Structure formats: C-alpha cells, structure tokens
Amino acid sequence: MAIWNKLFKPKAQTTQEPISITDSRLLEILGIELDEINLKGKNALKEATVYACIRILADAVGKLPVKIYQDKDGKQAAADHYLTPILKTRPNPWMTSRDFFKALEVQRNVYGNAYAWIDVETSGRNAGQVTGVYPLDSSRVEIWIDDVGLLPGQGKMWYVYRDNKGKEYKIRPDEILHIKNLTFDGIVGMTPLEQLKETVENAGAASRFLNNSFKNGMLTKGIVHYVGDLSPEAEETFRKKFEQMASGLKNANRISLLPIGYQYQPLSLSMTDAQFLENTELTIRQIAAAFGVKMHQLNDLSRATHTNVEYQQREFYIDTLMDILTGYEQEMTYKLFTDKELEEGYYIKFNVNAILRADPKTRYEAYRTAIQSGFLTPNEVRALEELEPKPGGDKLLVNGNMMPIEMAGKQYQKGGEKGEKEQ
C-alpha cells in the first residue's frame, strides 16, 4: 500500500526512472498480483510460449520409435531382443512408450534433469534383466556426491528420491536413467528457465496485462490524485468503488464522475503501442531460441515459405533434436544393457525417418537412385515405407535392367569374347 499512500498525498513526486513491466509498483497499479507471475518449476508452463516450446520438444521425442541394433559383423536390427517391447511399446504397466519419453522430455526442460528408475529382476533365470522403467518427479530427486571420501566402501555418487510422504530412497547411478539438459559439470543439468527468468516473467506479466485489459473493457488504467491524506482503509474502499464504476464491458465508453478534490490521470499504456508489440515479439523469439525451437513451429509464418519451412524442419532436427536424442540413446544404451551385451555390440537408436521423411515424389526418387546404385535393396526400401518384404528383394541391384550386383559387368565380358571370335 506504500505506493498508494504516495499517490494520494498532495504534491506527490512522480519518478522519471523507467519502470519494468515486472516492477511491483507498476504491477500493483495494473491490478496484477505478484503470485500470478510466479513462473518457477511447473508454473513456467503457464506462459504460452514456454508451454508451446516444451510441447514441441516433447512431441518430437515422444513420436519417434525406439529400436535396438547390434553392431557385429555389420549393423543389423535386433527386433527379437527382450528390451524391444519395453522400449517400443510399454516401459512400465502404467504408460506407453510415447507417454514415457514425453514425460522425461518435459521434466528435462522444466528442471534441467529427467530421471527414470530402472527395475531389474534380482533372482531366477532372468536375473539382471530390466523389467520396467519408471519416470521420477525431478523436483523430488537430489544428487549426492562424495568428493572428499567421507563414506568409504560406497559409491562416489548416488541419487536420493523423496516420495510424497517424505520417505527417502537411495538409488545407485546404474539404477537410474539421468537425462540432462545443458550442463557445466556433466553431472547436473541446467534448465533454460533459470537463464530466462526475467524474460519469462516479462512474458507472463504482458499476458496478464492483456487479460486485465479485456476484463476492464479495454480501458487503460490510471492514477487518481487527491489533495489531502486518506487512511489505508479509505484508499482501498475508494479504489474498489472507482474500479467498479470504470471497469467492465458494461461501463465501456460511459462517462465517469469523480468527487471534488479528485483528479484522474490515465497511464499511457496501450497494447497497440509499437514498442509493446516489438517487445512481445522479441520475448517470444528469445524463449524460442533458448529451447532451440524454430519460429514457424510457433505459427510465426511471417518469413516462411514452403521451401524454407522444410529446410527449417531439417535444421531443427540437426541443430536441436539430434543432440537431445543422442543423450537419450547413450544413457539408455549404457544403463539398460549388461556388460556382456555391450561387448556384443548392442545399442539403442531412435528412428528419425518420421521427422526427415520428405514428400512421396522426393522419397521415391531417392529410393530409385539408392536401388539403382546398389546402395539399398528393394526390401530395405520397402521396410522404410513399412511394407512387407518380397521374394528376391534382398539382393543389391545396379543400373540397366536391375540385375543382381554380383552380375554387374558380365555382359561386357561376353561381348568382348564374341568380338574376338569374329575377328
């Protein structure tokens, strides 16, 4: 209420210093509560641009199928590995693979770290095999590092998870998947929201300002000057009465009367001001850049064409998504396979064809070139299009009549022999 005490006193001095849209004094005048722009943790998703960026990243990761390969005498798919249904279909009884990876990606961006507990069979013939993977609430996980050797005989690092009842669980590093965002030390990830605190708060405050403007019949807030002093109770009463009189759609464009001694001075704040719109656009671009999201993905098509949108989509995969997927792949490969399986060349890979897939004409031209050059077999191409294999489609073919690659050049040898006999 200190701001109102100053405003209602005679000869009140107005500051000439610029006031940020997140300044408590200005927010109070605009009717915006400070709690409304608390955008820490999950609250950050209340800001539209932040929510959109995280949704785009989560959707991109969640829609990609996960496959297991073995690099032994050549790379080949290991569809019969027991982990395939866990990663591809059901990581745990309560969620699909899509939901699992989307949950991890959301937490990775909100908190900088995403965690998933690995449930392993401890006895029987399947001892050591993974039975399920369960995402954990990142806000309830702490990383403990014994960098001075206080606990001999124990690991140098472990994770502590606290459930909603306060019970703590100690988890070894090999029992948990840890997917990090940008990191200083390689152990703990940082969330972009920490670096974008003021930017996100500005976006939240601007959104609240627009909402309040609509609720108030698009009328601009202002300051009421009063010659004399008012008690805090009288100030609050007058403010409520004045806002009831001047706010709302029913009071739009109506004449308002003030008692003698009061003077109303509107604030020159307009959501149509060029500077306001420029600042809003800049804020959106800053948030998008921090998350690695392209502007056309946020429905900003002002500089988009059919050609450059396709290029930007590939750029999004190369510049943003590839690094994210690599983090998932390396962590899952190291944590989900046994030492023996790692020695045998097993590894996990996301199938990114769904993102990079071009239009049918472009794809078919590429397939034709790949088949004619002996790079892909017809059945390998059919597999890319999710079609069943055909008999004889596993041979590499080259040029001309699509003969098997092992027969390439033999027709020339026969022709040469014939020519020599004719001479």
Rg over alpha carbons for the chain, rounded to the nearest Å, is 32
pLDDT attached to residue 2:
46
pLDDT, tens digit, 9 for 90 and up, residues 71-120: 877 778 888 999 999 999 999 999 999 999 999 999 999 999 999 999 99
Residue 224, CA distances (Å) to 37, 69, 334 in order = 26, 72, 66
Tokens of 31: 């009717």
Residue 288 burial (C-beta neighbours within 10 Å; 0-12, 13-18, 19+): buried
Report the predicted TM-score, pTM, of the whole model to 2 decimal places: 0.69
The DSSP letter of residue 15 is P
Q: How is the chain split among helix, strand and coil, in percent rounded to 5?
A: 50, 15, 35
- Output the CA torsion 207→213→216→219 (10° steps): 170
Q: Going by C-beta distance under 8 Å and a sequence separation of 6 or more, which residues neighbour residue 348? A: 66, 67, 68, 69, 87, 329, 332, 333, 336
The pLDDT value given to residue 52: 92
The per-residue pLDDT for range 291-329, each reduced to its tens digit, is 999 888 888 766 655 566 677 778 888 889 999 999 999
> Span 166-184, mean pLDDT?
93
pLDDT at 27 over 70: no
For 205-232, write each residue's pLDDT tens digit: 666 666 665 555 545 555 655 555 667 7
Side chain identity, residue 343: E
Q: Average pLDDT over the chain, rounded to whole?
A: 76
- DSSP class of 189: B
Residues 6+ apart with CB under 8 A from 345: 70, 71, 72
pLDDT at 7 over 50: no
DSSP 121: -
SS3 state of residue 401: coil
**Cα–Cα distance, 242 to 229 (Å, whole number):** 17
The residue-averaged pLDDT of 228-239 equals: 67
- Which of 388, 362, 393 is CA-nearest to residue 377? 393
What letter does residue 83 receive in the DSSP assignment?
Answer: T
What's the distance, Cα to Cα, between the start and end of the chain in Å?
A: 112
pLDDT at 345 over 60: yes
Looking at the predicted structure, is the pLDDT value of residue 26 above 60?
no
Which pLDDT band holds residue 399 (cuts at 50, 70, 90)? low
Q: Using pLDDT thresholds of 50, 70 and 90, give the confidence band for residue 29.
A: very low
